Structure formats: C-alpha cells, structure tokens
A = this chain, B = another copy of it.
Amino acid sequence: MELTTAEENYLKAIYHLSDGGKKSVSTNDIAAEMNTKAASVSDMLRKLGEKEVIEYRKYYGLQITESGKRHALQTIRKHRLWEVFLVEKLNFAWDEVHEVAEQLEHIHSPLLIQRLDSYLNYPKFDPHGDPIPDEFGDVRSRPRVQLNEMEVDQTGQIVAVKDSSAAFLRYLDKVGAYIGARIKILDKVEFDGSLEILVDQKKTLFMSKEVACNILVLQS
C-alpha cells in the first residue's frame, strides 16, 4: 500500500513524537511538530486510521501499528541515507542536508535506495549521529545521554545532536564541537545549568544548558 508524501511526513512525526511507538501522542503535539493546525491533523488521523498505519480512536489519541512503524522507519532510512550521500559524496556541510533530504526521502524506488546504501558502504549513522535503520527496519541504537545530564569529571564522546537546524550546527562548527569529539565535564554551574567542558584534551568550552541538552554523548 502506497502512502502520499503528506502521509509519510505525518507518520514520521508520529513515530518520532511517540518515541518509536512507546509514548502516546496528542493531536496538538502533531500540529506543533508539523507546523499545521489541529483540524488538519484530525482529518489526516482519520485517513491514516483507514489505511491502518495507526489505530485511531476519536478523542482518545492513537497508537502506531506495526505496518505504520515499518513505513516510518523506511522513510527515516531514506532520509538519513540521503544525508550521508550529500555529505560524503557531494561535500555538503552537515547543516545543509536536512531540507534537501526532506524532499529526497519521498522518492519511491526500492532499487534506488538499495543501490544508494551499497554505494555508501552501508553506513550505520547519518551526519548528525542518528542511526540508519537497515532494509528490514532494524535500528542499532547506542546508549546515549544528553550532555547536560552528565556530572563533573565524567567523560565521553559526542555521538549525535538532537537539533539538526543550520543555526545550531553552525554554532557547533564555530566552537569546535563535532561528532566523535572526546569530552570531559570540567565544571557545571548550579544556577543556570551551563557547563565548562574539555574537548579532545586540549580545548575548553563554555556552553549553556540549552546547547548542552541538544548534544548526545556516549559515556566512557
């Protein structure tokens, strides 16, 4: 069964907001995430329910079905593979890929995505550190914590970012934070949650809590 571009986008949002089907999602949450209105969401939920990619009971929220998860993961897989392609092959910066990938993820061609995966050598993570589901929808996820949740003297490695906006990513470029960087918490200010961290054993960096909670770390 084929989904339209709009349906794929809704399903992706529902998948993310529900944390892969675990949490329940509200109509208003979806509307906020998709920059649309609650009335439009209600309409779409009815359609997605008819296509059985969600289980929908009016006024009582929704549950993503197994079929829905497969569709969502397939779209996420395509999005992230294209992002890798843009960075690795076409020399895009990591803050330039998201918008284009939002378009490319809706190209329908199983052969294309299979060949792209092989051409890129079956990458496991996208340029923002997010895991790429395999062709069966399986995701190999690593245990990650938000940088703001770490304590003084703890160490780790930056493995992903939560915010993929150009503004945030360019800020990280400027201060020298990148995926793979080894870090150590030097100081944590109680008052505002801001941090002082050591990057790659040589550079110290101050950052606000707002920045820190968008950086994901693999602790060591």
Contacts and interface: CB of A to CB of B under 8 A. Distances in A.
B107 A92 contact: no
Interface secondary structure of A, over-half rule = helix
A167 interface: no
* Interface range, A side: 10 to 19
Given A100-B107, A103-B108, A109-B103, A119 B86 contact: no
Contacts of A115: 90-92
A95 interface: no
A59 to B, nearest CB: 36
Contacts of A41: none
Contacts of A89: 119
Q: How many copies does the complex hold?
A: 2
A89 B89 CA distance: 11
A177 interface: no
A6 interface: no
A96 interface: yes
A112 B87 CA distance: 11
Contact of A90 (B86, B103, B112): B112
A199 interface: no
A104 B100 CA distance: 11
Interface in A72-89: 86, 89
A189 interface: no
11 contacts: A86-B112, A90-B112, A90-B119, A91-B115, A92-B111, A100-B107, A100-B109, A100-B111, A100-B112, A103-B107, A104-B107
Interface of A: 86, 89-92, 96, 99-100, 103-104, 107-109, 111-112, 115-116, 119
